[in-house]
Amino acid sequence: MARFWLGRPVQAQYAALARSRKDPECRALTELAYGQLLVSRKLSGATAHLERGFELAGPLLSAEGYFRVYRRHQLLAYLVLGPLPAPPQDLASLLREAAVIRRLQGGVRGQSRLATDPSDTEY
């Protein structure tokens, strides 16, 4: 993580960690953590890692935790991601920005969204 925040490449470390971990918990955490790093800078690829991590973590979560993460990821999907890193943001500010984008778009973006505002997504 420190390498990422210093602007250094971390793809090789992510790939090595992803290959070395076979248990579902570690694989889920690896995907979720990498996806969170990418989304914090609004980088392309974040959504795919978050979705894969959620898929792996789903069976391990309580019903409450499952829906909390599901709503959070549905809301984060409204963010515009790209190839160039944006200034880093924390989860609360990302969720607020995504909620504004959702409202401006009328809440329609390819699939239904469960979250109605950032306050119904615990973080």
Tell me the DSSP string of 68-83: HHHHHHHHHTTS--BS
**Residue among 112, 110, 75, 114 at smallest CA distance from 91:** 75
Collapsing DSSP to helix, strand or coil, 7 comes out as coil
pLDDT at 123: 40
Residue pLDDT, tens place only, 49-86? 999 999 999 999 999 999 999 999 999 999 999 999 99
Mean pLDDT of 105-118: 53
> Which comes out higher in pLDDT, residue 46 or 13?
46
Percent of the chain scoring above 90 in pLDDT: 63
Least confident window among 1-15, 38-52, 79-93: 1-15
- pTM, two decimals, is 0.79
Mean pLDDT of 23-47: 93
Does the structure show a pLDDT above 80 at 31? yes
